[in-house]
Structure 1
Amino acid sequence: MKKLRIRLVGLNARFTHSCLALFCVRSELERHCPAAAIEIFQGTINDDYHQTLLRLIEGSPDALLFSAAIWNGEPVRRLIGDCLRLLPGLAVVVGGPQAGEVGRSLPPGSITVVRGEIEAVDPDFYVDLLAGRLRPHYAGSFLRLPYKALPFPYRDEDFRSQLQHRHIYYESSRGCPFACSYCLSAAEKGVWHKGLEQVFAEMGEILRHRPQVVRFVDRTFNDNPVRALAIWRFLAAQGGDTLFHFEIAPDRFGEEMFAFLAQVPPGRFQFEIGIQSTNDATLAAIDRRIDPRRAHGLIRRLAAAVNIHLHVDLILGLPYETRETYLRSFAAVFAMGAHYIQMGLLKILPDTPIQRGAEAMGYLHCSEPPYSVLATRWLGRDELAALYWFGECVERFHNNRYFVSLWRYLRAGGEEIAVFFLDLLALCHRHGFFQLAATQELMCRLLCLHLTGRDDEGLVRDLLRYDWLRCGHRFLPPCLALEEGRERPEATRDRLYRTMPMAVAGVYDFGGRNHFFRKAFCLHLSAAAARALGLDGADDGADLCFTARREESLFRLNEVVLL
């Protein structure tokens, strides 16, 4: 009997990503079709299309099984059409969030669409696959299974091939406790958890290979706080340098969790927190049931600990969200101290509650993936477009490590941050910023223009110099040149070299003194800037030396020595 050759296909957004679904499908195929020859193919949506096509049909496989998501639905559809032309009689199966739309866009009967999780699909699917008589549709629901289990999807050889230099995706639970109207998870509420012993064993296997990033794909990792804390404790005890990413609910935290997280080394844990909006009417309309006050307090508290990267989401275009409420939501999130504020457009996804009510709410959205909203009853086309560019301005200026001290200063001073960014956006449009490469120097230049004439202009320019040098630069760009009468960096270094002791504990010893001053960039900061940075005893300003060493900190900035 001929051995069935099956190729599993995933197109990721970028090379560093991996497609967990392919490995889960492989596990089920190995269980139900042990004689089949199974191969995993991972490409990206940015790869050369023709080369990808040739690789998919190479060796004339009997079946291609595609994972279709919102971001890759169109290239998947194109590839399927061309593969069917090149290999008549090829069996093509599509699963994933966009499978139904891909199926509807192709000739009836040309492919098979699988809805739901592969672990719950009717066993007839495998019988039909082996027999070459696949039906047009199969479906299953994992949460409705009487007995639920998720086997470990990875093999040792995967980490030397398919997963090498990629993020590792791992699910310790399936399902979501929320039913947000814009999300595909709204179709089926509920959560199933793997046992902790299984999680510990599987994570132990993954960590043996020392991956750079492990991303937990649990929709709400901490829906059970006790269980979440147990997993965090286990991961922290393993040591290593792996970064762990979690999507968390901001109102499901206890004091024991805070106490533990305070001990986690910087850069080991990263939290993604879906605030979406701070407008009560909007949260009620999308069925986002969180306690905003607890959520805001949590983020402020975690941000103050400066050891966990905080990624907070806002969504532009939700029901009842006006320009004013959206800007208030942004200002509230900025005040919390989040390190990354993602301001994404609402996607009107097929088969979601919000899609079914889109016409009644006056939604205009793109007809093709990713179905981005274009206008709503509360935001006209031009208003929504303006807020989109506002979000792009925040993305480029805020969501990096370039201006950490500036944002901290503005936050502490109660700056009207929405107005600040609106004015900065207008400046960006005048200078054609969004058509240029967003370099740190260009952004510094625009910020200096934006800050001209402020009462605290000198102070904020010094903060920009401080941030610039902490990013590892060994010079000041023209826009940050020192004002007339200020001591030049070379003069500051020479003065310190003449006046500092021959050894300073923890900074340099007698033998390393010359090397320290040769490599350090020295700058005298104003007293106002020194106070804003929290430098003690700096009433006359501060002499700072920026070294070439990186701190063991969240942003891995260069070390600064106060002399």
Structure 2
Amino acid sequence: MKTILATLNAKYIHTSLSIRYLKAYAAPEYEVELAEYTIKDPSMNIVTDLYSKNPEIIGFSCYIWNIEETIKVINMLKKINPSIIIVLGGPEVTYDTKEWMERIPEVDFIIIGEGEQSFKQLLDELHGEENFANVSGIAYRDNDSIQIKPQRNKIDLKTLPSPFRFEEDLPHLSKRVTYIETSRGCPFSCQFCLSSIEVGVRYFDREKIKEDIRFLMDHGAKTIKFVDRTFNISRSYAMEMFQFLIDEHKPGVVFQFEITADIMRPEVIQFLNDNAPKGLFRFEIGVQSTNDTTNELVMRKQNFNKLTRTVTMVKEGQKIDQHLDLIAGLPEEDYHSFKKTFNDVFALRPEELQLGFLKMLRGTGLRLRAADHGYVFMDHSPYEILKNDVLSFEDMIKIKQVEDVLEKYWNDHRMDETIEYLVSHVFETPFDFFQDFGTYWDEKGWTRIGHQLEDLYKHLYEFLLHAKKDELLIVSGFMKYDYLRNQKYKPRKPWWEEIVAKEERSKIYQSILQNPLILGKEFASLQLAEKDLYKHTVLEKLPFNLNHFLKTGTIIEEESFIVVHYDPINLKTTVYSALSGELTTKVG
């Protein structure tokens, strides 16, 4: 019976680890074909492709991001060919299984929980006596009734075959994210997370994992993301893996981890700061909330002081980028409490700050006790909350307005100096800036359209004009500085109206040509001819002393000039600044 394992990923660059484990475990007795799509692919295209493969069995891996689209595909497939056997698995259908079987009559089987053994046992029965009562961890139809067989013992992870050795995957490794797990389970009991349901942590064979990582790197994998819920729960294990990755890594490879920051020991961070190549590792840290009452209600143990120590040490090491997560809508976290949480975490200046919204996942303790906190949430995936007893729908809308501008203006690092000045000197708190700007952004309808880089600068400037901030002249100087220094090529037309008149510009350029040392020895060493000076540089005026700011971080309101050189060969951008004979150089 021809068998296909399929899933709809959120993005093309993502890959499904689960269906690869199922395929590997089913071999060699059963040859299984993989088929991956995205949630943005038209349902008809997916159905057409699957139908063309002439399958007799199709298994779908289901998550909150793909379940609704998957159902559409299943319905169409069954209409075209009712004899196709449809099997579902994954976290979205592991809970409320009977409800799913009733809701989707086209589904023949559901694999409950960890699926490797159950799926292979199901294939045994489908190819044999069809006595499905012999299969543990499945739901199936028996005439007009739905039968559910609970899982038995958990699988020994050390016995699982590698999911990374399929020939068809190798050409795509360099273009997609490769997910890898070294453990399953989580030691914590956070009531909003599915990982809290499985008690204990089980580990894969360390040496097999290392061999898989070597294999992946040898075949071109560039981004390898560990999906362990708490990679550093065992310090000795984490240290062993960190050392291995430092010793064995290949240029251009990045490893991403989910870590629990408040349990990471300073000596581990110091080891990474001393030994890890810059950019090799990336940490994802779930802070979620700094409200102690909230954390207690969701059974989340967190020492924010120790978390701060970890994040600060890592940041000072300048080796590892950090992505910190927040969740809006947790119990007893009202709008003002969430504002404090946001400001507490933003004060750490993570490279990325992810603003998420509570999702009432099936099977979680928080969903089971939703009435205790007055939760109202979506009936369909992703089950995002609409309000609770301390956070109104209006408050949720306001917080959502922060999300888009936070992503575009902080996480994308398009204008770091500008945003730093705004949140430190112009607005009362960082949250106030992102909230006020986000509200204005939403009122303008900018959330619904695409934006060029120049548009982002224009939108921010328009907002600041609207907000009537006294510091607009200084902020506009930072915006010009950020815009020019972050370009690889000389911009054709900046987003602002030119301040330096053509005649003044020509005089300054002539002075530079006559005495290049005005801009320092490094600039003079470029030996730019007049044609190159005009062709590959931009001259702009700033309302503050850039030299003094770069040295001290403080503002003196006196005019300075910057000359930005765009090296067309090395794609290197260098900013030179001059004020009364003083010079500074900053390489970007």
- Identify whether the pair has TM-score above 0.5, normalized to the shorter chain: yes
Q: 1:185/1:490 Cα in 2 relative to 1: closer, same or farther (>3 Å)? A: farther
Q: 2:36 aligns with which of 26, 29, 42?
A: 42
C-alpha separation in 1, matches of 2:555 and 2:507:
19
Q: In terms of mean alpha carbon deviation, does 61-70 or 158-167 score higher?
A: 158-167
Q: 1:94 aligns with which of 79, 83, 88?
A: 88
Give the equivalent residue in structure 2 for 1:117: 114
Residue 18 of structure 1 pairs with residue 29 of structure 2: no
Q: 2:229 aligns with which of 219, 222, 233?
A: 219
Other structure's SS at 1:131 match: coil
Residue 149 of structure 1 pairs with residue 159 of structure 2: yes
Give the equivalent residue in structure 2 for 1:519: 536
Do 2:24 and 2:163's aligned partners in 1 also have CA atoms closer than 8 Å? yes
Q: Normalized against structure 1, the TM-score is what?
A: 0.88
Q: In terms of mean alpha carbon deviation, does 45-54 or 455-464 score higher?
A: 455-464
**1:410-446 superposed Cα distances (whole Å, 9 cap, x missing partner):** 4555951222222223332443322332333222223
C-alpha separation in 1, matches of 2:530 and 2:131:
76
Q: 1:276 aligns with which of 285, 288, 307?
A: 288
Do 1:28 and 1:118's aligned partners in 2 also have CA atoms closer than 8 Å? no
Q: 1:386/1:536 Cα in 2 relative to 1: closer, same or farther (>3 Å)? A: closer
Residue 467 of structure 1 pairs with residue 482 of structure 2: yes
**1:199-257 superposed Cα distances (whole Å, 9 cap, x missing partner):** 22211111002223111111111112332233223223323101221111111222333
C-alpha separation in 2, matches of 1:167 and 1:274:
20
Other structure's SS at 2:111 match: strand
Give the equivalent residue in structure 1 for 2:135: none
Q: How many residues align?
A: 552
Q: 1:500 aligns with which of 508, 516, 521?
A: 516
Matched AA of 2:289: S
**1:21-80 superposed Cα distances (whole Å, 9 cap, x missing partner):** 1110011110xxx34332110111111211210111224212111101110001211222
Residue 365 of structure 1 pairs with residue 377 of structure 2: yes
Alignment of 1:547-562 (within 5 A): 547-548=565-566, 558-561=573-576, 562=584
C-alpha separation in 2, matches of 1:487 and 1:294:
58
Q: In terms of mean alpha carbon deviation, does 504-513 or 272-281 score higher?
A: 504-513
Q: In terms of mean alpha carbon deviation, does 394-403 or 485-494 score higher?
A: 485-494
Give the equivalent residue in structure 2 for 1:374: 386
Give the equivalent residue in structure 2 for 1:252: 263
Alignment of 1:377-416 (within 5 A): 377-410=389-422, 413=425, 415-416=428-429
Matched AA of 1:532: F
Q: In terms of mean alpha carbon deviation, does 20-29 or 189-198 score higher?
A: 189-198
Do 2:173 and 2:219's aligned partners in 1 also have CA atoms closer than 8 Å? no
Residue 179 of structure 1 pairs with residue 189 of structure 2: yes
Give the structure with the higher percent helix.
2
Q: Give 1:385 deviation, angstroms.
A: 1.6
**1:330-373 superposed Cα distances (whole Å, 9 cap, x missing partner):** 11111110122211111111111011011221111110111111
Matched AA of 2:269: F
Do 2:454 and 2:494's aligned partners in 1 also have CA atoms closer than 8 Å? no
C-alpha separation in 2, matches of 1:66 and 1:503:
63
Q: 1:127 aligns with which of 120, 124, 129?
A: 124
Matched AA of 2:272: L
Give the equivalent residue in structure 1 for 2:69: 75
C-alpha separation in 1, matches of 2:474 and 2:567:
26
Alignment of 1:197-216 (within 5 A): 197-216=207-226
Q: Which runs of 5+ in 1 are unaligned?
A: none
Q: 1:297/1:346 Cα in 2 relative to 1: closer, same or farther (>3 Å)? A: same
Give the equivalent residue in structure 2 for 1:107: 105
C-alpha separation in 2, matches of 1:329 and 1:557:
39
Q: 1:173/1:521 Cα in 2 relative to 1: closer, same or farther (>3 Å)? A: farther
Give the equivalent residue in structure 1 for 2:311: 299
Q: 1:438/1:502 Cα in 2 relative to 1: closer, same or farther (>3 Å)? A: closer
- Tell me the C-alpha RMSD between the 2 structures: 3.3
Give the equivalent residue in structure 2 for 1:347: 359
C-alpha separation in 1, matches of 2:162 and 2:403:
39
Do 2:403 and 2:438's aligned partners in 1 also have CA atoms closer than 8 Å? no
Q: 2:450 aligns with which of 421, 434, 437?
A: 437
Q: 1:407/1:299 Cα in 2 relative to 1: closer, same or farther (>3 Å)? A: farther
Q: Give 1:475 deviation, angstroms.
A: 3.9
Q: 1:173/1:253 Cα in 2 relative to 1: closer, same or farther (>3 Å)? A: same
Other structure's SS at 2:75 match: helix
Q: Give 1:376 deviation, angstroms.
A: 0.5
Q: 1:103/1:522 Cα in 2 relative to 1: closer, same or farther (>3 Å)? A: farther
Give the equivalent residue in structure 1 for 2:47: 53
C-alpha separation in 2, matches of 1:102 and 1:522:
64
Matched AA of 2:346: F
Q: Normalized against structure 2, the TM-score is what?
A: 0.85
Other structure's SS at 1:469 match: helix
Q: 1:17/1:558 Cα in 2 relative to 1: closer, same or farther (>3 Å)? A: farther
Matched AA of 1:154: F
Residue 234 of structure 1 pairs with residue 247 of structure 2: no
C-alpha separation in 2, matches of 1:520 and 1:484:
14
Q: 1:235/1:15 Cα in 2 relative to 1: closer, same or farther (>3 Å)? A: same
Matched AA of 1:403: M
Do 1:492 and 1:524's aligned partners in 2 also have CA atoms closer than 8 Å? no
Q: In terms of mean alpha carbon deviation, does 347-356 or 300-309 score higher?
A: 300-309
Give the equivalent residue in structure 2 for 1:261: 272
Q: Give 1:164 deviation, angstroms.
A: 5.7
Alignment of 1:153-164 (within 5 A): 153-155=163-165, 157-161=167-171, 163=173
Q: 1:146/1:303 Cα in 2 relative to 1: closer, same or farther (>3 Å)? A: closer
Matched AA of 2:61: S
Q: Give 1:378 deviation, angstroms.
A: 0.6
C-alpha separation in 2, matches of 1:485 and 1:122:
73
Matched AA of 1:245: Q
C-alpha separation in 2, matches of 1:252 and 1:276:
16
Do 1:409 and 1:532's aligned partners in 2 also have CA atoms closer than 8 Å? no
C-alpha separation in 1, matches of 2:41 and 2:81:
22
Other structure's SS at 2:239 match: helix
Q: Give 1:493 deviation, angstroms.
A: 4.5
C-alpha separation in 2, matches of 1:25 and 1:478:
53
Q: Give 1:525 deviation, angstroms.
A: 3.8
Give the equivalent residue in structure 2 for 1:193: 203
Q: 1:67/1:429 Cα in 2 relative to 1: closer, same or farther (>3 Å)? A: closer
Matched AA of 1:208: D
Residue 325 of structure 1 pairs with residue 312 of structure 2: no
Q: Which runs of 5+ in 2 are unaligned?
A: 133-139, 141-147, 577-583
Give the equivalent residue in structure 2 for 1:421: 434
Matched AA of 2:176: R
Q: 1:520/1:80 Cα in 2 relative to 1: closer, same or farther (>3 Å)? A: same
Do 2:158 and 2:203's aligned partners in 1 also have CA atoms closer than 8 Å? no
